[in-house]
Structure 1
Amino acid sequence: MTAAPTLAKQYIEQRDQGYWIAGTRISLESVVYGFLNGESPESIAQNFPLLSLEQVYGTIAFYLANQELIDAYLRKAEEEFEKLQRSLREKNIPLYQKLKTAQIQKQSQA
């Protein structure tokens, strides 16, 4: 008697307070942001050669099935990133001003 095939496959795992593509170090948001920016699954797979097209589609399907939860997770991560940026700016104002000046100069040369 042969074993029945597994019908459900897990594409996403939760670890370290984040979501990751199962068995990889690639975050869920890496694929989701590409998808939300209009990239095709094939293009996303090309951008992440360690992922199969199946994993990309699985990640997108997970996002669509859990969109409210993942959108809230992404918003929270963006807020934390902005808070960290603000904190770093406030702690080292001269460095931040130098970086801002360099950025403006680079844009004016383009």
Structure 2
Amino acid sequence: MSLAIALESVPLEIDAHGTVRVAKTRVTLDTVVTAFLEGCTPEEIGEQYPSLQLSDIYLVIGYYLRHRAEIHTYLAERQRQSVIIRQEAEQRFDPLGIRDRLLARRNQSR
């Protein structure tokens, strides 16, 4: 009996916004890699994100391990973008006193 070895494609897709997601899910590459780096096993990641197939989690982690530099560059850029977006949102919508404003609005509607 011979074993046919087939290459498996990495179940990663880039969405319209440039975000890398796992297979046909909403789970991002960032999520899986961060969980793995925090010490989660693939099985634990699968429990936290049941839309992921265990085999896909292993393939994504394997891809990460072979392409650490590129993925860390991607993750750093995503973090940089997130800081910019947060700063823009805070400039447009002042977070200071938000609780008081929301409570006042709720009390006015009663």
- TM-score with structure 2 setting the length: 0.75
Identity fraction in percent: 24
Give 1:15 deviation, angstroms: 3.5
Q: How many Å separate the matches in 1 of 2:4 and 2:24? A: 20
Equivalenced residue count is 96
Q: Shift of the alpha carbon at 1:5?
A: 5.3
Show structure 1 runs of 5+ residues with no match. 102-110
Counterpart mapping for 1:62-101 below 5 A: 62-93=63-94, 96-99=95-98
Residue matched to 1:8: 7
CA RMSD between the two structures: 2.1
- CA 1:82–1:57 in 2, change beyond 3 Å: closer, same or farther? same
Letter paired with 1:98: G
Moved over 4 A (4+): none
Which SS does the other structure have where 1:97 is aligned? coil
C-alpha separation between the residues in 1 aligned to 2:99 and 2:37? 29
Q: Give, as a single letter, the amino acid of the residue that structure 1 aligns with 2:41.
A: S
The answer to whether the Cα contact below 8 Å between 1:19 and 1:27 also exists between their aligned partners in 2 is yes
**Cα deviation, residue 55, structure 1:** 1.0
Q: Is the 8 A contact 1:12 1:62 kept in 2?
A: no
What runs of 5+ residues in structure 2 fail to find an aligned partner? Answer: 101-110
Looking at secondary structure, tell me which structure has more helix per residue: 1
Q: Quick check: 7-16 or 72-81, which moved more? A: 7-16
- AA matched with 1:28: L
> Partner of 2:107 in structure 1?
none
Give the TM-score taking structure 1 as reference length: 0.75
Query: Structure 1 residues 99, 7: CA separation in 2 closer, same or farther (over 3 Å shift)?
Result: farther
Within 5 Å, give how 1:10-29 maps onto structure 2. 10=9, 11-16=11-16, 17-29=18-30
Structure 1 residues 10-65: Cα deviation after superposition (integer angstroms, max 9, x where no partner): 22233332222123232111111100111111100101112121111111001111
